[in-house]
Amino acid sequence: MKIPENRYLFHVNEDIAKGIFEETNNLIERRFDNESTRGNGIEAVVENYALSFTGKNGEFDYVKTDFNPDAHFLRHGFTWSFWFRPDELTGTRHALGRRAGSGNHRFFFGIAGSRLVAGIGEGILNGGASTSYHGMEVGEWYHWAITYTGDSNTGGDNTRLIYKNGVLHYPTDPPGNVRWRNPSDGTSGGEDIYFGGRNNNGNLTNSMACAFDEIAIYNHDDHTPKDSDWVSTVYNSNTDYNHKVSGGSGLVGYWRFNEGGGTTTKDLSGNGNHGTFVPIGTVNHTGNGTITTALPTWIER
């Protein structure tokens, strides 16, 4: 490798010239150490990132998406897979989703103290899993998957199953029946989902200190969601599982959070429901009246 300036630099200062050569070689070595060969070309290895949210201390941040569960006909059946890290486990907290209209359009995930809340379809008593202890610990990563065969009005049998780390978590003796009633099969009355909190008719509610990775949503018009073997495969593959490549048909939303920077996270499903970071100005938790803003934080996994 010849660099014209190096001869001149060598005459001016030998140490500078040697330093440039050494740093250049180190840079080349680091580049190839972080690349993998595939086929006849070289493809850079993508760093694995996740997204964390404050959810406390008077600073609330979230990601707003254009993903409307009604517009993607999730009441006909769906599979929902994601990695989740709780950074607090007190009170009623919603980490992801929406509540729209009269409450018959629920689609969210969160906690009520030591209990899990997975709102699907109508009211919390029927649409939540508030009788299930989540068993999570602060700072630990967990894989959750929720499947739904669809509302009986659309030909399904109202069965919802919740998996934790590849194993059926709730109910332990299926089926777990829940209805999903919304005004129509279209977008009427719908609200888009948030990450880091719940969209309650256009307002952020009960945001949670937590982190997310690899959120994937499938719709199943045939009322046949992914089975337990599929869930186990995704869990055992950890974040290496690529839903776009390996997940099969029906993928309608997919956020890998591998951008690692910026204020947008892309929906890789092809539907363009990208997520946008949103800060909310609040009174500083120290009580000094300072208006603060917070944005979700990129973290490595």
More confident site: 6 or 118? 118
- Same domain (yes/no): 25, 54: no
Assign 283 a pLDDT band (cuts: 50, 70, 90). Answer: very low
Q: What is the CATH number of the domain that holds 90?
A: 2.60.120.200
- C-alpha–C-alpha distance, residues 163 and 182, integer Å: 25
142 and 172 belong to one structural domain: yes
243 shares a domain with 115: yes
Domain span at 129 = 49-300
Q: For helices 14-33 and 5-12, what crossing angle results, to 10°?
A: 130
Q: What percent of the chain has pLDDT over 70?
A: 71
Q: What is the pLDDT of residues 151-176, one digit of tens each?
A: 888 899 989 999 999 999 998 777 77
Tell whether 32 and 56 lie within a shared domain: no
On whether both 36 and 122 belong to a single domain, the answer is no
Q: Of 250, 249, 253, whose CA–CA distance to 216 is shortest?
A: 253
Distance of CA 63 to the CA centre of its chain: 10
Q: Dump pLDDT digits (tens) for 213-248.
A: 999 999 999 999 999 999 999 999 999 999 999 999
Q: Across residues 146-153, what is the average pLDDT?
A: 91
Residue 34 scores a pLDDT above 50: no
- Based on the fold, state whether residues 24 and 122 are members of the same structural domain: no
Same domain, yes or no: 214 and 119: yes
- Same domain membership, residue 184 and residue 100: yes
- Kindly state whether residues 12 and 138 are assigned to the same domain: no
Instruction: Identify any residues that bridge with 94 across adjacent strands, giving them in sequence order.
Output: 110
Domain count, the chain: 2
What average pLDDT does the structure give for the chain? 80
131 and 258 housed in the same domain: yes
Same domain, 25 and 171: no
Is the sign of the CA dihedral 272, 270, 216, 185 positive or negative?
Answer: positive
Task: Give the pLDDT of residue 70.
Answer: 87
pLDDT band at 251 (very low <50, low <70, confident <90, very high): very high
User: Smallest Cα–Cα separation from 145: which of 124, 113, 170, 179?
Assistant: 170
Q: Range with the lowest mean pLDDT among 14-23, 28-37, 49-58, 256-265?
A: 28-37
- Weakest-pLDDT range from 28-42, 45-59, 60-74, 198-212: 28-42
* pLDDT given for residue 119 in this prediction: 86
The backbone torsions φ and ψ at residue 88, rounded to the nearest 5 degrees and listed phi first, read -155, 150
- Do residue 85 and residue 143 come from a single domain? yes
Q: What is the pTM of this model?
A: 0.80
Token code pair at residue 150: 């669809």
Phi/psi of residue 131, nearest 5 degrees: -90, 0
Tell me whether residue 181 is exposed, middle or buried, using C-beta atoms within 10 angstroms of its C-beta: 0 to 12, 13 to 18, 19 or more: middle
The continuous run of DSSP H or E covering 254 comes out as strand 251-255
How many alpha carbons fall within 13 Å on the CB side of residue 259? Answer: 18
